[in-house]
Amino acid sequence: MKRLPKRGAYDRETVFKILDEAFVCHVGFVVEGQPFVIPTNFGRSGETLYLHGSAASRMLRTLSQGIPVCVTVTLTDGLVLARSAFHHSVNYRSVVVLGTARLVEDPAEKMEALRLFTEHIMKGRWGDIRWPSEHEMKGTTVLALPLEEVSAKVRTGGPIDDEEDYSLPVWAGVLPLPVVPAEPIADARLKAGTEVPGYMKSYRRG
């Protein structure tokens, strides 16, 4: 990491916390000289990141051939407002993963990956829902990406202005942007008498 190396982090705890809090990753790869960056959901088990989608997905078909891939996630924690335009910034946490993915063919590992995707979105959900059928499993591709070449980058704290700008009568500081869940909205065809699960009532992210 060459630019602002003090924001870099390479320890497992920092990387795992960011991955476990994020919902969406961006998958970057190149096909015949054309770069693609595709947003998608993911799940993590230990030091493996799982990606999934339709068996017809060009991204997944391409990555299953073992081409290099770059996966990134970013969490935005706050807007950093400085006294000068130059020093405005964002408090964030991000992870970059480089490597090659493998196609998950073992049925047990594939089912476990699908459980991870579900639990990553809502912990406790897998125990309530219908699990994937054999037909749905066949229509789904799962890839596993080892977390071997990984880095994190984090910015926290307030603005850092030039010394001469601290006397300016301009408000400066941080506007936090927490993820705060609202009241659940029931499906229009929800069976009468079905209560909101406890894990939704107590839901917190991070």
How far out from the chain centre does Cα 65 lie?
23
Q: Give me the pLDDT at residue 2, please.
A: 46
The model's pTM: 0.89
Domains of the chain, first to last: 5-159+171-201 (2.30.110.10)
d(CA 76, CA 122): 20
Q: Give me the pLDDT at residue 198, please.
A: 95
d(CA 199, CA 46): 23
Q: Give me the pLDDT at residue 37, please.
A: 97
Q: Give me the pLDDT at residue 11, please.
A: 85
d(CA 28, CA 192): 44
pLDDT in tens, the chain (206 residues): 444 455 566 688 999 999 999 999 999 999 999 999 999 999 999 999 999 999 999 899 999 999 999 999 999 999 999 999 999 999 999 999 999 999 999 999 999 999 999 999 999 999 999 999 999 999 999 999 999 999 999 999 999 999 999 999 999 999 999 989 999 999 999 999 999 999 999 998 86
